[in-house]
Structure 1
Amino acid sequence: MLTCWEVNSTPPAGSSVLNCKEVSFIHKMLRIRRAKLLKIVLAALIAIFVIITMTLLGITMSFQEIFLKILYQNLVYAPGSKFFEVWNASDVSKVKFMAYVYNLTNSQEVLNGGRLNFEEIGPFVYDEHITRINTHLSEENPPKRIRFSHRHVFVFSRASSVGSTYETKIIAPNMQYMHFGGTGQHPFVTYTVDELLWNNRYTVLGFNVANFGLFASRNNSITKPITLDTGVENIRNVGKVLELNGKRRHNLFKQDEADMVGGFQAERLSPGLEVGTSVKLLISSVCRSVRAYAVNKTSSVHRSDVELVVFSGMLPGTSDPSTNWEERIYCNPKEACPPKGLVSFKKCLQKDGGNLDLYASLPRFLNADARIVKNMDGIPEPNEKEHGSYIHVEPLTGLTLEGLERIQLNILMANKNKDYQSMKGPYYMPIVWYIRENIADKATMDAFKTQILDARTNTAFAIQLACGLFGMMSVFWAVILAVLCLRTRKQAEEEEQLTSVVKCTTFSLGNYESGTPDVESVETSSILSDET
């Protein structure tokens, strides 16, 4: 039992007397021990919060890299990829196809040496159903290559068109005559729109020998198999064309750069492309690649909060073979290069047995050599917005979410024999221009925004918020520790100044009768030293 006595009081017999300063020192040491324990706990809490904060800060700084790594793993053409699962399950798509035909209203005047006069008629609208077939992955694990083909079927939409393709008639160049190169026929003939586009059949003894419909080879047909890079080795190469019909070369051009099969399909490009970059697109119908340029940014049709990069081809300053070597390498060394803004089909058609001098351009000769339309009337003035060819690509993933392919087909006509009479020229005669419109629907855009774009933003915000909270908690506990240290120091200084003297005795619990203490008095300072 511990009892405190006044200085002049007599302590009970059998007690040990302790000095006042020694008692004060004991109490002080106990408080110091408790304070030290509390300091250790607070210091541990601060250390934990600092470690968590620094970890979150590190994650925040490297979040983009981590997120992109996970995202890219799900963009490849390989089992386990989210993109591949969706892509492989949805093998049917639909594209809106609209054609505008040119009617030559004064064919006889042209043969007499007059100017060309055209009437543009359209649109004639079709639903183009595209089915992916014969998909095959290479045998590596994970696969490095994927091969597939497409089947195209066109279904006419009378309600959306200006008229019936079987009833609407036009005058256009005689395709059969120009293919065979004979004489004794008229250079211009009357077609129905259906014949011009799909069913211009050449028969011998009742047998169909050839079909000169401009798009006959597309309808109800299977495209040549195309082989793409799956992207498992390098995400920048995902979707890059490696082979066309099992071949790495077109075998049409002398320059290796022109003859090698390469570029991307318009359906998807390399991730991370921004305005100012460019990419080559393989156009299999002309057996060559065309460079597309990222010229602008735009909002999605269905969601204004989804930003897309606009890629466009055949720009005014890039489509001239005389100034752009990438166009010049496709020229025939024995012939002059096509005028600015025209791309020749001739070699590609000859490869498949065709013999028409066809050229592609943008509708209404947009960005083409102005001399082409100098002797033509009835060609409306074009503009980039309505007659340019674009794909709208989401830059993070490289996926094409909107596409507007606008192409015009033209045929070169020259006065080669008496059948052309007094016709001037040569002319790049426009025949038809078309639009292929493919825009992701709103449901797709909503899912894309929520599952990819918002996930990226929300996760980054959550990590930054957690980092801030743990940082604030670290500061909070550090302030408490600092206050505790100051209070402990102040109390210690005050206790040093205590001067009251108290005598304390420790009663012996087991021996009151003897009158002598059970434990001899010893120096308290030495006991405390041992305890300490």
Structure 2
Amino acid sequence: MLLQIQNLRLWNDTLSYHYWQRPGVIRLTKVYIYNVSNPDGFLSGEKPKLQEVGPFVYREDMEKVNVKFHENNYTVSYQHKKILQFVPELSIDKNTPIVTPNIPLLTLTSLSPKLGYLLSKTISIVLTAAQLKPFINVTADQLVFGYDDALVSLAHRFYPKHMRPMERMGLLLGRNGTLTEVSSIKTGYEGMEQFGYIDSLNGMDRLPHWNEEPCTSIAGSEGSFFPPRDITKSDLVHIYDKDLCRIIPLKYVERVEKDGLAADLYRLPNNSYGDSAHNPENKCYDANDYDAVRGLQNISPCQYGAPVYISNPHFYEADPELLDAVEGLHPQQEKHETYFKIQPKLGVPLEGKVRIQLNLKVTQAKDVHPVRDFRDFVFPVMWLEEGITELTPAIKGWLYLATVIAPHAVPIGSYLMIVGGASAVIFSFVRAYRNFVFARDPSLEILEMGRRSLRRGSSFIAHQQHKLLLHHRDSYVLLRTMPHAMTACLDPERDRDDVQPIIDYTLINQEA
């Protein structure tokens, strides 16, 4: 397990670094747009009749650029580079005509009640002269990636730089190219409890759009890695979404399997969006002029002040009044929930879908003629699904090796090492014993003979060289005695009569 964790940490040139820096997984963004089939009827008081048009599928090629590891390797900073490419074989015609609310116009008119009667009438005159209408006709591609709009151009020119919108109106226009936001995440060097979580955004450790915790928190994953549940033992993880300017909670549901790999299933809790009565942590998201509704959340502070609110697609798990106010929406858990399947040992997502619906909360402006009949309403505009369904074979192989094969291979390898070590010890012992019993070293036998001779006191090794004949198995070895061996241990005068000359024999092995 320790080896797995060391390989998982985001160190330069590791497997996990290459997976994180340029994932290579097929990440798709699917867009569904609500076409309004009765715009005039709605202005006359009817329920809006919505027709879901889509999907419009875009492949997201993503990599991290300007990567920099900081001191001690605790964090690494980077910028996202995203390229969205249309996938026609998975989509309907991107030039499909759409009738949708005029978002720049309705954003402006929703603010007019706060501006006073005189300024509201001035706005009404200007908008009437410009012949602007509350609904517009555009293609799906224009709505997603931008069309020219006079009000957006004016806002881009005169808004303060830090609040300045794009030059054109497009729901996903800001997602293409290298993002200006500089993110820094935790590499796991200090510990895996917050592995992959964001440490700072543009040098700040909190979100500037909100005033209180936990809404200001950035402690969430950017989607590549999560803290492994086998280590944290926590049933809750978070993911950060820049476009929602908040972190989204994901709660553990159960253990499942994905492509032969164990996975933990997480779902978005049903009280994640909406009023603080159902979730006290949502109180800091509520705007002063907005009565919070279950399943609906304000994100206008990070949408250039536009009254944009998020929910689950088709108002899934939201207040029934939101669903009853429109026609054509049919919430289903399988199609509209947000979920992730995360490998519990490594924290790598095996599958995941973030599904978000964008709604425009319109405040009626009775003094502005072009929109005076557009009543207070939460109007669904579109919903999108982002995520991965399958990993590449190479990544699957790496995960299978790390989580299935390695845990079994390490104990087996340990046992083999123990058996091998024991065998080596036994072999060495046997070999040493054989060498001791059947020694070929003559000096050992000479010393032993000398010891026995001294004990008996019946032999003496003379000063001159003598030859000893030793028998070893079926061969004979001719040796020479050392001339002065152990003479100091004998008394020459006392033992002179007992000394027998040692005769020099030459023997031949007759057996050969």
Note whether the superposition's TM-score is higher than 0.5: yes
Partners of 1:97 and 1:229 in 2: CA distance = 26
Residue 133 (str. 1) matches residue 65 (str. 2): yes
What amino acid sits opposite 1:432 in the alignment?
M
- The structure 1 residue matched to 2:42, chosen from 110, 130, 147, is 110
Equivalent in 285, 292, 306 of residue 330 of structure 1 = 285
Match of 2:205 in 1: 248
1:323 and 1:442, CA in 2 relative to 1: closer, same or farther beyond 3 A? same
Name the counterpart of 2:239: 281
Tell me how far apart the structure 1 counterparts of residues 323 and 315 of structure 2 sit (CA, whole Å).
8
Post-superposition offset of 1:119: 0.7
Paired residues for 1:152-171 under 5 Å: 152-163=82-93, 165-166=94-95, 168-171=96-99
1:197 counterpart letter in structure 2:
V
Determine which structure has greater relative contact order: mean sequence separation of CA pairs < 8 Å that are 6+ residues apart, divided by chain length. Answer: 1
Pairing 1:365–2:323 present: no
Give SS of 1:116's match.
coil
Deviation of 1:294 (Å): 1.2
1:178 aligned residue (102, 106, 119) = 106
The aligned residue for residue 409 of structure 1 is 358
Matched, 1:449 2:400: yes
After TM superposition, what 4+ stretches of structure 1 lie above 6 angstroms from structure 2? 204-208, 464-471
In the alignment, structure 1 residue 431 sits paired with structure 2 residue 381: yes
> Are residues 145 and 366 of structure 1, via their aligned partners in 2, closer, same or farther at CA, if it must alter by over 3 Å?
same
- The 1-side partners of 2:272 and 2:79 are apart by 34
CA deviation profile, 1:183-228 (whole Å, cap 9, x unmatched): 3332111111112111122248999863221111112342511101
Asked if the contact 1:276/1:293 (under 8 Å) is kept, the reply is no
Aligned-partner Cα distance in 1 for 2:248–2:153: 41
**Letter of the 2:353 counterpart:** L
Closer, same or farther: CA 312–410 of 1 in aligned 2, 3 Å: same
Q: Report the alpha carbon displacement of residue 125 of structure 1 after superposing the two structures with TM.
A: 1.4
2:27 aligned with 1:95, yes or no?
A: yes
| Residues 209, 301 of structure 2: 8 Å contact kept | yes
> 2:254 is aligned with what amino acid?
N
* Range with bigger deviation, 263-272 or 96-105: 263-272
| 8 A contact 1:177–1:187 mirrored in 2 | yes
- Name the counterpart of 2:75: 145
Question: Tell me, what secondary structure is at the counterpart of 1:440?
Answer: coil
Residues 14-66 of structure 1 show CA distances to partners (whole Å, capped at 9, x for unaligned) of xxxxxxxxxxxxxxxxxxxxxxxxxxxxxxxxxxxxxxxxxxxxxxxxxxxxx
| Cα distance in 2, alignment partners of residues 434 and 252 from structure 1 | 23
Write out per-residue CA displacement over residues 56-109 of structure 1, whole angstroms, 9 at most, x where no aligned residue.
Answer: xxxxxxxxxxxx222212221223744235544x46554212111101110101
> SS of the residue aligned with 1:74?
helix
- Equivalents in 2 of 1:75, 1:443: separation in Å? 16
Contact 1:93 1:130 in 2 (8 A): no
Q: Structure 2: state its 5+ residue gaps.
A: 110-122, 158-166, 423-512
Offset, 1:114: 1.0
Provide, for residues 243-291 of structure 1, a one-character-per-residue CA deviation record: whole Å limited to 9, x for no partner: 1122112223221432243222222110125897012222222222121
Give SS of 2:193's match. helix
Q: Give 3-state SS (helix, strand or coil) of 1:217's partner.
A: helix
Classify 1:297/1:206 alpha carbon distance in 2 versus 1 (closer, same or farther; 3 Å).
closer
Amino acid at match of 2:378: Y
Q: CA deviation at 1:437?
A: 2.9
Alpha carbon RMSD of aligned pairs, Å?
3.1
Provide closer, same or farther for how the CA distance between residues 427 and 467 of structure 1 changes in structure 2, counting only shifts above 3 A.
farther
Matched, 1:77 2:35: no
Conservation of the 8 A alpha-carbon contact between 2:359 and 2:381: yes
**Residues 1:79 and 1:440: Cα distance change in structure 2 (over 3 Å):** same
**What SS does structure 1 have at the residue aligned with 2:360?**
strand
Rounded to whole Å, the distance in 2 between the matches of 1:107 and 1:421 is 14
Distance in 1, Cα, partners of 2:92 & 2:299 = 29
Partner of 1:11: none
- State the alpha-carbon separation in 1 of the partners of residues 79 and 206 from structure 2: 18
Match of 1:298 among 231, 234, 256: 256
**3-state DSSP of counterpart to 2:49:** strand
> Shift in Å at residue 446 of structure 1?
2.5
Q: Which 10-residue stretch deviates more, 337-346 or 189-198?
A: 337-346
Moved more, 272-281 or 218-227: 272-281
CA distance in 2, matches of 1:451, 1:275: 20
1:368-399 per-position Cα deviation (integer Å, ceiling 9, x unaligned) = 1111011211112x222221111211000111
8 Å CA contact 2:275–2:286 kept in 1: the answer is no
CA distance in 1, matches of 2:233, 2:313: 24
The Cα shift of 1:147 comes to 0.2
| In 2: Cα distance, 1:262 partner to 1:275 partner | 17
- The answer on whether the counterparts of 1:149 and 1:225 sit within 8 Å (CA) in structure 2 is yes
Is the 1:314–1:367 Cα contact (8 Å) retained in structure 2? Answer: no
How far off its partner does 1:455 sit? 0.9
CA distance in 2, matches of 1:179, 1:160: 33
Q: Deviations over 1:333-372 (max 9, x none)?
A: x2335311122220112xxxx2311111111111111110
Q: Using a 3 Å threshold, how does the CA distance of structure 1 residues 171 and 399 change in structure 2: closer, same or farther?
A: same
Say whether residues 1:312 and 2:267 are aligned partners. yes
**Does the 8 Å contact 1:275/1:309 carry over to 2?**
no
CA 1:85–1:169 in 2, change beyond 3 Å: closer, same or farther? closer
**Deviations 1:407-444 (CA, angstroms, capped at 9, x unpaired):** 111111232224344444x2221111112232312332
Counterpart of 1:148, as a letter, is Y
**Equivalent residues of 2:68, 2:76 under 8 A apart:** yes
Partners of 1:454 and 1:230 in 2: CA distance: 25
Aligned to 2:147: 200
Is the alpha carbon distance of 1:462 and 1:318 closer, same or farther for their aligned partners in structure 2, counting shifts above 3 Å?
farther
**Deviations for 1:290-348, whole angstroms, at most 9, x for unmatched residues?**
21111123322xx2x2121112224258754222122222223x233531112222011
Structure 2: distance between partners of 1:125 and 1:377:
25
Residue pair 2:25, 2:392 contacting (<8 A) in 1 also: no
